[in-house]
Amino acid sequence: MTQPSPIWFISDLHLDISRPAVTLQFLQLLKNLEESNTQSLYILGDLFEFWIGDDVLDHSLGKPFIPIVDALRSLTDSGCEIFFIHGNRDFILGELFSERTSIQMLPEHHIIDLYGEPVLIMHGDTLCTDDHQYQTFRAMSRTAQWQEQLLSLGVPERIKQAIAMREESTKTTREQSDEILDVNQSAVEAVMLEYGVKRLIHGHTHRPAVHEFELESGQPMQRIVLGDWYDQQSHLKYDSGGFELLANNVTQTYRF
């Protein structure tokens, strides 16, 4: 009997017209997944460096995104289910993009069944609770009022604003300590207890690793962190026997 193909997880691709080689690598990945009859692909946020609204797809400035849309649609048409969780750079990705690609949008925290085990998946930015400045912006930018105000602007003006926000974010990140930018362990434990899971998969921090820890009760837990795609070429392949986490040309293998 043919073994089902592994389930794939990727995050933090940050696709951008300034990095065409990264986009080409992603398109090749989608082609490879299609040829190997992959059953499921989970994209855990920050597919794009920034996203200013789905209407960009019908604007002349959105032409660089068309090959990405077409490749995603080709993969879903082949029978592969693609699931997406919004990241901090592409949280305005909406229904039109979903319709044209047939990807399925998931809530920011979501439990999936991986071969009989409930596993929590998310982008991961909600775990960085020590970064108060970002969490304040996050709360504001997720409101309907903030998003409606942004989308009321023309596409060129939105691009200018997105670039300005990205530059400000980069500057702030350089000034913050590694501890502030990483996840808060108490937040990790709290959300895993809330959802009743022993395994969590997320991205966002660009710090690929497999973290093993125990709760005060002695319950063993595991947190799998995806790296970015544009620099570390990180991805996670998960099957019934275990998983492989690849980043920086190094593969960590865990068997159950």
Instruction: Write out the two tokens for 115.
Output: 């071969």
- The pLDDT score that the predictor gives to residue 5 is 82
- The pLDDT score that the predictor gives to residue 179 is 79
What are the tens digits of pLDDT across the range 168-223? 888 887 877 787 889 999 999 999 999 999 999 999 999 999 999 999 999 999 99
Q: Phi and psi at residue 188, in whole multiples of 5°? A: -60, -50
Q: Residue 102: CB partners within 8 Å, gap ≥ 6?
A: 72, 73, 76, 77, 82
Tell me 196's DSSP state.
T
User: What percent of the chain is modeled with pLDDT above 70?
Assistant: 99
What are the tens digits of pLDDT across the range 132-159? 999 999 999 999 999 999 999 999 999 9
Q: Which amino acids are annotated as binding site for substrate, given as ranges? A: 88-89, 131, 169, 173, 176, 204
pLDDT average, residue stretch 218-246:
96
3-state secondary structure of 188: helix
Cα angle value 254/255/256 (rounded, 5°): 125
Q: Which CATH superfamily is domain 7-255 in?
A: Metallo-dependent phosphatases (3.60.21.10)
What are the tens digits of pLDDT across the range 49-62? 999 999 999 999 99
* Closest among 85, 133, 92, 123 to 205, alpha carbons compared: 123
- The answer to whether 22 touches 10, Cβ cutoff 8 Å, is no
CA–CA dist 198, 180 (Å, integer): 24
Instruction: Write out the two tokens for 182.
Output: 């990483």
- The pLDDT score that the predictor gives to residue 169 is 85
- The pLDDT score that the predictor gives to residue 155 is 96
255: pLDDT strictly greater than 70: yes
User: What is the residue-averaged pLDDT of the chain?
Assistant: 95
* Closest among 122, 76, 79, 80 to 99, alpha carbons compared: 76
- The pLDDT score that the predictor gives to residue 2 is 57
Q: Which amino acids are annotated as binding site for Mn(2+), given as ranges? A: 12, 14, 46, 88, 123, 204, 206
Where in the chain are the domains?
A: 7-255
3-state secondary structure of 252: strand
- The pLDDT score that the predictor gives to residue 171 is 85
228: pLDDT strictly greater than 80: yes
103: pLDDT strictly greater than 90: yes
pTM attached to this predicted model: 0.96
Q: Phi and psi at residue 109, in whole multiples of 5°? A: -120, 125
Confidence of residue 3 (pLDDT cuts 50, 70, 90): low
31: pLDDT strictly greater than 80: yes
Q: How far is CA 202 from CA 46, 129, 235, in A?
A: 12, 15, 11
- The pLDDT score that the predictor gives to residue 185 is 98
Q: Which amino acids are annotated as binding site, given as ranges? A: 12, 14, 46, 88-89, 123, 131, 169, 173, 176, 204, 206
3-state secondary structure of 187: helix
- The answer to whether 202 touches 225, Cβ cutoff 8 Å, is yes
- The answer to whether 223 touches 213, Cβ cutoff 8 Å, is yes
- The pLDDT score that the predictor gives to residue 246 is 97
Confidence of residue 63 (pLDDT cuts 50, 70, 90): very high
Tell me 143's DSSP state.
S
What does the longest C-alpha to C-alpha distance in the chain come to? Answer: 57
